[in-house]
Structure 1
Amino acid sequence: MKTVTIHTDGACKGNPGPGGYGVVMVSGKHRLELSGGFQRTTNNRMELLAAIVALEKLNTPCAVTLLSDSRYLIDAMTKGWLRGWKARGWVTASKQPVKNPDLWQRLEAAAAPHEITWKWLRGHAGHRENERCDVLAVAASVGPDRAVDAGFPE
């Protein structure tokens, strides 16, 4: 099984506001950077979308280490939140609708073929690849080709 290290970050100017995601994927000697921007979204949506886009880019099952500075993402995947939300019909333990169910469902599908180790790291702490993801995400959030985030409810 091929091993891949994925670094992700999301950015949003205002929350909600213009946003973007950045990804750095490394496998052996190969390195790929991905980014995308949206006209109006939230930081949490961009954090999720970064992970989704990276995992969807993999065309065979891989052993993945995914690093993110988003507790929202990492805790949902490591503490069983996603399983609980799904089991309760996309309702939180406090009986509130889960935010971003479209992206959680997409993330679950993208993650399914892979063996993933989810790791949190402190953002803006000098981690080279996380800093690069931040640069990519911020640049995408202000870029001219920002898409409409169709899943973002106004």
Structure 2
Amino acid sequence: MGGGSGQRSSRLRQGTISAAERERWAALRAQIDRSDTVRCVKSCQPNNISCIMDPIHSISHTVISLPTFREEPLLEEIVFLRAVPPAHSFSRNSDIVFDILDGNGQDAFDIIKRYEHGMIVGVVRQVRPITGPRYIVLKLAMNNVVSGVVSHRNIVNVHIFVSEFWF
């Protein structure tokens, strides 16, 4: 199979690859296409104080599509952020707080907190109709708060594609 990915792409276009190689590419492509969440986790060098002090531990991107909902009242649960409380969370001084940081210009979404099966869950709900076609990036934060201070934060960017259709 030698050569870099550029050569393989070229061979794919030219149709000069073997059946086995085509099957491997198809399997790889299927894995890539199924992936709807990308997550980056912070990894600091020991001497990088600004990195260590930055409360953001991870940034994720996920994609969802929604139909156009034209009628109110609407309370559609669309995103679930799950967090296992840390061992020290049984203290009254710690909590997990969910926030919508950006992308909610029409106040079409809210976020509530639930407790399910020993986990804390932030539930993003669509509370107002959105007429598509529309593309929205909803920036969410899952904050671990200790004694009133954010000790660490995970960011989730939800890329929402709203169809122009109700189905």
TM-score (norm 2): 0.24
Higher alpha-carbon Rg? 2
Q: Could you say which structure has the higher helix fraction?
A: 1
Structure 1 or 2: more strand by fraction: 2
Alignment TM-score, normalising by the size of structure 1: 0.25
Q: Which has the higher contact order (CA 8 A, sep 6+)?
A: 1
